[in-house]
Amino acid sequence: MLLTLLYSCTGGAAVLYALYRWIIPFIVQYHAGLALIWHDKFVEGMLDMLTRSTRPQRLLAAVQKNATRGDPRSVVRAIDQFCRHKEWAMNVGDEKGCILDSVVSEANPTYVLELGTYCGYSTVRIASLLSPNSKLITVEFNPEYAKIARQVIAWAGLQDKINLVEGASGDLIPKMQEMFGVKTFDLVFLDHWKDRYLPDTKLMEKCGLLRKGSILLADNVICPGTPDYLEYIRNSPQYESQYFKSHLEYTKVEDGLEKSVFLG
């Protein structure tokens, strides 16, 4: 009886582990809603409770364990490895990250604004491609995310190229010229709250932070989606837009980046 019970428990545990580790992740990677619920609600909540740590803290630990200090690309690889094989996180990711790299390299910007730092993944990708005289200003609303991002950025050795400011984008955008002496941005990467893409774009226009040729690059325009932003940016005579089809970070769900050049 006892042996039978033991076998049953062991078998049940094996099934649950298989469901958690392989079967459910395989299924949800093709469904946007299920993927976000599974990774952002169930898995994150469970691991937070079991480890008494947060996902950003676990991501930082993976960087400190696996990345070479002072090597930005090894930091990016360590985060990608963590997110693909350990725990999903809402970075732009490796697939869309290559598109981001291409846009940054082609634009060769002097002044870059990033809205939504999270843990600093895209911040490191962008800053590692900038010329020595360039500057990246990145805005993060969540102080806990900002705390982790600063450590990730320092581990990559890029702290001298980056100004991380905490606060709401709507409050900080009008202060950019005063705080940093920046007249206009050559490139803006939007990856914060999706309902802020459109109002923050209009705010940057109003504040004169966009010049003719300035590039807006917006992440997650399909998943979770930014329909109001896309409708505006694609129909405005002030912009010339191009959609780069890809996938939601570390899944097979369709997503993409929208590149929009400000025509003045």
Catalytic residue among 249, 255, 258, 259: 249
The pLDDT of residue 6 is above 50 = no
Non-local (6+) Cβ contacts of 215 within 8 A are 103, 107, 109, 186, 187, 188, 259, 260, 261, 262
Return the H-helix or E-strand segment holding 247. Answer: strand 239-247
pLDDT bin (cut points 50, 70, 90) of residue 44 is confident
Is the distance from CB of 25 to CB of 250 less than 8 angstroms? no
Whole-prediction pTM value? 0.89
At 210, list the tokens: 């966009």
pLDDT in tens, 240-254: 999 999 999 999 999
- Annotated active-site residue 219? The verdict is yes
Q: 219, 255, 258, 259: which is the annotated catalytic residue? A: 219
Angle between helices 72-85 and 93-107 (to 10 degrees): 150
Instruction: Answer yes or no: 160 catalytic.
Output: no
Q: Are strands 135-140 and 162-166 parallel, antiparallel or unpaired?
A: parallel
